[in-house]
Structure 1
Amino acid sequence: MNLKELKYIYFLGIGGIGMSAIARWFIANGYQLAGYDKTATPLTDALKAEGIPVHFEDDISLIPEAFLQNPAQTLVVYTPAIPKNHREYNFLIDNGFTLMKRSQVLGLLTRNMFTVAVAGTHGKTTTSSMVAHILKNGGKNVTAFLGGITQNYGTNFLLNEGMNEIMCVVEADEFDRSFLTLFPDLAIVTSTDADHLDIYGDHDHVLKSFQMFVGQIKPGGKLYQREGLHLQAYTNNETKEFSLNNGDFHAENLRIENAEMIFDIVYPDGKITDVSMLIPGFHNVENALAATAVALQAGVSPEKVKEGICTFKGVKRRFEYHVRNKDVVYIDDYAHHPTEIQAFLSSVKALYPNRKLTAIFQPHLFSRTNDFQDGFAESLDLADDLLLLDIYPARELPMEGVTSQIIFDKMKLKDKVICSKEEVLNLLTQKKPELVVTIGAGDIDTLIPKIKGLLN
């Protein structure tokens, strides 16, 4: 595939967070774009405002005529979420168009760039966004394909300025083994917990995929792994470790002041003192350690690293504050795996030890709920009060016997209730909470403006 021979790029599933980032790269580089998605979202609205025709019906006649008449000059980028009976998808296959998954295109785009890839079943969106910000703040020529909307830049895509010494930061997604299209110079792996078992089957296959990923680091590159992941045997490159308390990169003197985390970063050649983060969380301290490792290796000075961390505003839906005053605090987070929920809730409790914690959680996927029901129950028991919503199905059909009830029944917490999204506001009104969190990767974010309005 020679990108220089292409003129048109058509997206099936253009509204996805990863797809839209790639779309923006093609826009910035002068290609003509169009796309389909199932429903309109703020992301599709933004893409339309940027001049991309987007439609929401599976209708071949809505594909622009110029694209249909030039299959040799048209690349179709699709998401695996597109159903196999999709009319546009099948028409494009049957009529000689080149179709590539998002991950394949990402591999193609990054092939000739110095690439930093951030992988992990948790933490990759925040860490990759932090890496991109620190590098950009440190004067590097950065392009970045991210899995979330960064608060600093209001986008999931950063564009390089000119073609000299580009550093490409990419979120390396393990879903559908997508990250195996990447061959990075520097790689971070934050975690290798069991997840996406609907794709992988079991944890061993998840681990095997990460082992293959680190085996694709370019010769002379480096791997930065969270302590205890044991991936060093699967790469011929130098490996460094990071974690909160141990490893080549670790934190010292961690304290909480005015609900902010302040700490020192210890690295092999020295120490960066009194680093304060706008985004709290013990897990985010670890993400900052990983980002520090890569930035120092890329030639950013310790002073600029500190400045980058201290000015990083985070990513939408990752430990995002919506209300913060003397009476009530409201935080939203995308956590959808027991490990993520445990990290999030334990951090919230450490920041606000004297407030009763009311959590609203929406499970994501029937398969994930079934696979990790014990873990969900244990992590959610960290809350003082729980409103448990129905499972958000996403790409799945219901599974017999799998509902939110299976989590509910395993929990030890006494103050808990299963409710619908429509009941949440009334229940919150009755409870008069002082610390509220919403948790989940489904459509729970549609509640945010309503909860925010109620609490304010």
Structure 2
Amino acid sequence: MNIETIKSVYFVGAGGIGMSALIRYFLSKGKSVAGYDRTPSELTERLITEGARIHYEESIDLIPENCRDKASTLVVYTPAVPQEHAELAYFRENGFEIEKRSQVLGIITRSSKGVCVAGTHGKTTTSTMAAHLLHQSHVRCTAFLGGISKNYGTNLLLSSTSPYTVIEADEFDRSFHWLSPWASVITATDPDHLDIYGTKEAYLESFRHYTTLIQPGGALIIHKGLEMKPDVQPDVTTYTYSRDEGDFHAENICIGNGEIFIDFVAPDTRINHIQLGVPVGINIENGVAAMALAHLSGATDEEIKQGMATFRGVDRRFDFKLKNDQVVFLSDYAHHPAEIAQSVKSIRELYRDKKITAIFQPHLYTRTRDFYQDFADSLSLLDEVILTEIYPAREQPIPGVTSQLIYDNLRPNIEKCICKKEDVLNLLSQKHIEVLIVLGAGDLDNYVPEITELLKSRMTND
């Protein structure tokens, strides 16, 4: 099917962050867009105001008439939706063109220079940072992002003139194998999604295969010291990067008074005294990777320096809600043990003398089963841990797999408790909070506005 000639696009699982970027793309192309999602959210409501027709009941009867013509309708689904879903089954049984989100993204971006960011963690921040650097430069770009950019209030950027498309390359369900990158960063390959891959070796092999997809004449920028071995085509240049060493790295790192300045070192240039717009330690490394992509794509040194200073971050990625002398509160999407460890270390770097409390909602039964000891080790870097029940997402419960597995393996002298997410506010109202972070990829973030108000009111009363 030619995407240019289709009239209607129907999304099964319309509320996901990646799906919503595609919805916005097709709306911008003047297509009729409709779809289903399990629950309403702020994102789905915004999509409706932008022109999409979205419903929340699994029912064939609710599929609009103009999405029932298989000759002019493209159906897009997310792997998170069960294959037996009634609407998906209807489209399948009636011979519709049905594609995964990643396949459609691959088709859209095949005719452009894909600037991709892959890796177990750091993808969303690094790709959004790279998109901002290019978008505010003379290079410009189109971008499909895995989070809402705070600079632009959306996860889709459009350019009618730039040859570059920034993409978050997701390894879940081997989605990134549909892409044909011109340049790609690989941030990390800590094993994850073992419900899909089965073994660490299969996970690393998936990344190796991904590197074979980089187009000749392009570039791979890989984090120094990763266990996986790249396998690029001839005429693909491989670079290394990290915070402190590699072809791209930072020097003269200065952290203090809530600010971070660095010098960016590349093989053929150096940009001194760059200020990080979001001053947390992990963004030094994310920034090096993003600046490397922007530099190779043609952004000037001055544009890169300006872009880094004006980057405002991504919703739910080191997302500060309160920051003053009395209390600090932030939300972070970290849901893998390595991400949590990096997140905690970055916070500790900023607030060395304060008590740091985290509320963590584990994401997926399989991930908890596979990594509960690693989660306990990472969370034990904190002063206090509040655990809630596991967020199941697409999964059914696994006997014996609960948050108690993590709780029992936390270091003995840490303050810790388990509670239902509905009881978090009441629990926090009884605690002294200095630095608080909500961690996880589930729905605990829905409580962030109420937690913010609780902490604000306490400041006022104090």
TM-score (norm 2): 0.96
Q: Compute the displacement of 1:427 (Å).
A: 2.3
- Partner amino acid for 1:217? I
Note if contact 2:354-2:434 (Cα within 8 Å) is conserved in structure 1: yes
Structure 1 equivalent of residue 183 of structure 2:
186
1:141 matched residue in structure 2? 140
Q: Distance in 2 between matches of 1:275 and 1:238?
A: 26
**Secondary structure in 2 matching 1:185:** strand
Equivalent-residue separation in structure 2 for 1:178 and 1:392 (angstroms) = 22
Deviations 1:322-380 (A, max 9, x none): 01111001011000011000000011011011111111111111111111111111110
Q: Name the residue aligned to 1:205.
A: 202
User: Match of 1:132?
Assistant: 131
3-state SS, counterpart of residue 239 of structure 2: strand
Q: Deviations over 1:223-280 (max 9, x none)?
A: 0011012534444311001101110111111121212222111111232111121223
Return the offset for 1:39.
0.9
Root mean square deviation, CA, Å: 1.2
Query: Identity of paired residues, percent?
Result: 50
Preserved contact between residue 259 and residue 352 of structure 1 (Cα < 8 Å): no
SS of residue matched to 2:147: coil
Q: 2:229 aligns with which of 222, 228, 231?
A: 231
- The residue number in structure 2 matching 1:13 is 13
Task: Answer yes or no: is the 8 Å Cα contact 1:280–1:347 preserved in 2.
Answer: no
Partner of 1:299: 298
The answer (yes or no) to whether the contact 1:5–1:73 under 8 Å persists in 2 is yes
Determine helix, strand or coil for the equivalent of 1:146.
strand
* 2:281/2:349 contact within 8 Å kept: no
Match of 2:429, SS state, is helix
Alignment partner, residue 460 of structure 2? none
Question: For residue 157 of structure 2, what is the amino acid of its counterpart?
Answer: L
Aligned to 2:378: 379
**For residue 49 of structure 1, what is the aligned residue in structure 2?**
49
Structure 1 segment 427-438 matched on structure 2, within 5 A: 427-438=427-438
Alpha-carbon distance in 1 for matches of 2:125, 2:63: 35
CA contact (8 A) 2:211 2:231 kept: no
Letter in 1 for 2:410: M
CA distance in 2 between counterparts of 1:8 and 1:44 reads: 18
CA contact (8 A) 1:214 1:231 kept: no
Structure 1: runs of 5 or more not aligned: none
The 5 A counterparts of 1:325-404 are 325-404=324-403
Where 2:4 maps in the other structure, the secondary structure is helix
Partner secondary structure for residue 52 of structure 2:
coil
The equivalent of 1:424 in structure 2 is: 424
Does residue 314 (structure 1) correspond to residue 310 (structure 2)? The answer is: no
SS at match of 1:372: helix
Letter in 2 for 1:296: H
| 2:114 corresponding residue in structure 1 | 115
Structure 2 alignment gaps of length 5 or more: 457-462
Q: In the TM superposition, what is the alpha-carbon distance from 1:166 to its structure 2 partner?
A: 2.5
**3-state secondary structure, aligned to 2:104:** helix
| Amino acid paired to 1:88 | E
Q: Output one character per residue of 1:384-439: Cα deviation in whole Å (capped at 9) or x when no partner.
A: 11111111111111111111111111111431111112222222222221111110
Contact 2:37 2:56 in 1 (8 A): yes
Give the SS at the match of 2:402. coil
Letter of the 1:24 partner, please give it. R
The answer to whether the 8 A contact 1:243-1:249 is kept is: yes
**Aligned: 1:172 with 2:169:** yes
Note if contact 2:74-2:96 (Cα within 8 Å) is conserved in structure 1: yes
Output the amino acid matched with 2:453: G
Give the conservation status (yes or no) of the 8 Å contact 2:215–2:233.
no
Q: Take 2:141 and 2:178, find their aligned partners in 1: how far apart are those partners?
A: 20
What's 1:152 paired with?
Answer: 151
Number of the residue aligned with 1:64: 64
Q: Residues 356 and 165 (structure 1 numbering): CA distance in 2 closer, same or farther, change over 3 Å? A: closer
Task: Confirm whether residue 195 of structure 1 aligns to residue 192 of structure 2.
Answer: yes
SS at match of 2:285: helix
Alignment partner, residue 443 of structure 1: 443
Q: What is the CA–CA distance in structure 2 between the aligned matches of 1:392 and 1:233, rounded to whole Å?
A: 36
